[in-house]
Amino acid sequence: MRLVCFPHAGGSASYYFPMSAALSPAVEVAAVQYPGRQDRRREPRIEDIGELADRIDAELRADGDGAGLPMAFFGHSMGAVLAFEVALRVERRGERGPVRVFASGRRAPGRFRSDTVHQEPDALLIEEIRRLGGTDSRWLEDDELKAVVLPVIRSDYRAVERYRSRPDAVIDAPVTVLTGDADPHTTLEEAEAWRAHTRGDFALSTFSGGHFFLERHQAAVIDTVTEALGPYLEPR
């Protein structure tokens, strides 16, 4: 089967190399590369979650490599929002949607906070990045790299902080939520609120750690994904 992975704000497709290596060959990991970074760095950045979800949905429809394969979605932080929005678009067309959506490190779509990090000066944006962890701190000390990376992160923050979902938006796909018990951006109650956004079954896995708990618990996270996808995998 195919697992489509959606990176966090400022993240890139390469973030999911470890998951791809661990799940191969039973699961083909297809990681989304957002415009404006790495090999797509010359493309205009997209600062609207709806537009980005539309673009990703169109790419998945046009990609013949995964035709006929059951698929699941995994998204971390901003990626969890995009996984949900793309699933909504697939299901609204009446097509076969993901067999499961894994929403990691993000509060439920109907839960909003008045975050304005994207409006802060560079120094405060960098402070927020350090606070969350999950980013190689070496580039934060390099002015040339900062000039390249900070605009990408700011654009992603602008997109996700302005995102608003209808509180009654629901997908048919079952949802597995993964969250850190010390994540400053998602309380356990906000993680549990994903239950209201699926007509399928719901599971919540809590890990010790903050926003990027999945790096500390990489093996356990992959085990959680493997176990949930087990019923859909054919023996080889």
Q: What is the pLDDT of residues 10-69, one digit of tens each?
A: 889 999 999 999 999 999 999 999 998 888 988 999 999 999 999 999 999 887 666 678
In the predicted structure, residue 236 carries a pLDDT above the cut 60: no
| pLDDT of res. 67 | 64
The one-letter code for the residue type at 87 is: A
**Reported pTM:** 0.91
CA-CA-CA-CA torsion sign (53, 56, 62, 63): negative
| pLDDT of res. 86 | 98
Per DSSP, 127 falls in state H
In the predicted structure, residue 89 carries a pLDDT above the cut 60: yes
C-alpha R_g of the chain:
17
Q: Which of 12, 14, 24, 77 is catalytic?
A: 77
Closest of 226, 218, 223 to residue 17, by C-alpha: 218
CA-CA-CA-CA torsion sign (94, 100, 105, 106): positive
**3-state secondary structure (DSSP) of residue 52:** helix
In the predicted structure, residue 132 carries a pLDDT above the cut 60: yes
In the predicted structure, residue 118 carries a pLDDT above the cut 90: no
| pLDDT of res. 133 | 72
**Crossing angle (nearest 10°) for helices 143-161 and 49-62:** 90
**What's the CA gap between 201 and 206, in Å, rounded?**
17
CATH 3.40.50.11540 fits 2-232, yes or no: no
As given in the structure block, the two tokens for residue 236 are: 């080889």
Active-site residue, 77 included:
yes
